Amino acid sequence: MKTVVTGGAGFIGSHIVDAYINEGHEVVVIDNLSKGKLENLNPKAQFYKVDVRDKESVDKIFDKEKPDVVNHHAAMIEVAKSVREPSETIEVNVVGTMNLLSAAVINNTKRFIFASTGGAIYGSPEEVRVDESYEPAPSSPYGLSKLLGEEEIRHYSRENNLEYVIFRYANIYGERQDSKGEAGVVAIFSELMREGEPPTIFGDGNKTRDYVYVGDVVEANVLALQNGTNNIFNIGRGVEVSDSQVFETVAKAVNFNEKPKFEPVRSGEVLRISLDAKRAKEELGWEPKINFEEGVAKVASK
């Protein structure tokens, strides 16, 4: 099976590329290296340095490679940046997705796997633990862009018989996560603490997220090559972890003894959420294996 992985030099995508190659699949990576790194690239993958907004280049790649599957992880993911600069987020996450869908249909691609968001697409839900039936209410342009991407995929599926799997991810952390920028709190906290610098918590420390280890996310993407057709899945542990708990867990892992700094909550951020992933267990055969403390211990001290 030949798979195009967009964002395949990035944090999550590069792990998926490795897993697909280990499973014996042929992999083509599309990445503009704005966030991805050459050092993350699997040498057995065919690499194209291309931005998904470049329709002409995307069309040429698909015409040449004729992939069976697209796994789309290239995206603008920073919530606060999407509030400051919404147009770029929409261009990358909506226009880029449309370009890939169009090329996939023209070249008879069978399946489209999409990285959406569970942390931002549901907004600030009344029920803190939400399943996929909860009506999306994005509170940021980033969340909106992912919802629009989902709708694009469902449209192309209805009109062209394209199979899809949509993942609404919790906050993902693990090896290769970039500590630069606004996303990736575990990586950011870990690097700052190793350098002896106190990290900043936005809010009073009680804001919560659902954290899932990248290895568990990769397993879901392997299963999605054959299972979960035409469905949306939350991928998370269903456990709230507060910002203060993140700080304490990382501090313990790296032996950091200072206090954090505090600043006001950033615009567009959700205050509390966790994801019910029962559907993924029942229909995809997936469930997380690594708890938060174990996952942080695996990565924070490196």
pLDDT per position as a tens digit, 103-139: 999 999 999 999 999 989 998 888 889 999 999 999 8
Examine the fold and report which residue of 219, 235, 251 is the final residue of a domain before the chain moves on. 235
- What are the catalytic residues? 142
Shared-domain flag, residues 193 and 248: yes
pTM for the full predicted model: 0.95
Shared-domain flag, residues 107 and 245: no
Q: Tens of pLDDT along the chain (302 residues)? A: 999 999 999 999 999 999 999 999 999 999 999 999 999 999 999 999 999 999 999 999 999 999 999 999 999 988 888 999 999 999 999 999 999 999 999 999 999 999 999 989 998 888 889 999 999 999 899 999 999 999 999 999 999 989 999 999 999 999 999 887 667 899 999 999 999 999 999 999 999 999 999 999 999 999 999 999 999 999 999 999 999 999 999 999 999 999 999 999 988 788 899 999 999 999 999 999 999 999 999 887 66
In our burial notation (b when 16+ CB lie closer than 10 A, e otherwise), range 63-94 reads: eebebbbbbbbbbbbbbbbbbeebeebbebbb
Shared-domain flag, residues 142 and 284: no
Shared-domain flag, residues 226 and 103: yes
Closest CA to 148 of 219, 92, 216, 204: 92
Examine the fold and report which residue of 235, 250, 269 is the final residue of a domain before the chain moves on. 235
Task: Name the burial class of residue 259, with classes exposed (0-12), middle (13-18) and buried (19+) by CB atoms within 10 angstroms of its CB.
Answer: exposed
Give the CA radius of gyration of the chain: 18
* The two three-digit tokens of residue 167, written as one number: 């993942």
Among all chains, which residue has been given the structure tokens 């290239």? Answer: 74
How many degrees, rounded to 5, is the angle at CA 111 between CA 109 and CA 115? 125
Shared-domain flag, residues 141 and 12: yes
Shared-domain flag, residues 74 and 183: no
CA gap 268, 172 in Å, rounded: 19
Shared-domain flag, residues 248 and 140: no
pLDDT at 269: 82
pLDDT at 301: 63
The alpha carbon of residue 170 and the mean position of all alpha carbons in its chain are separated, in whole angstroms, by: 8
Shared-domain flag, residues 107 and 188: no
Q: What is the CATH number for 156?
A: 3.40.50.720
Q: Outline where 205-276 has alpha helix (H).
A: 214-223, 243-254
Number of domains the chain contains: 2
Instruction: Print the domain residue range for 248.
Output: 178-209+239-299
Shared-domain flag, residues 183 and 110: no
Q: Are 46 and 27 in contact (CB under 8 A)?
A: yes
pLDDT at 119: 86
Shared-domain flag, residues 220 and 77: yes
pLDDT at 270: 82
Shared-domain flag, residues 122 and 25: yes
Q: What is the CATH number for 292?
A: 3.90.25.10
Among all chains, which residue has been given the structure tokens 């009344």? Answer: 126
Shared-domain flag, residues 128 and 197: no
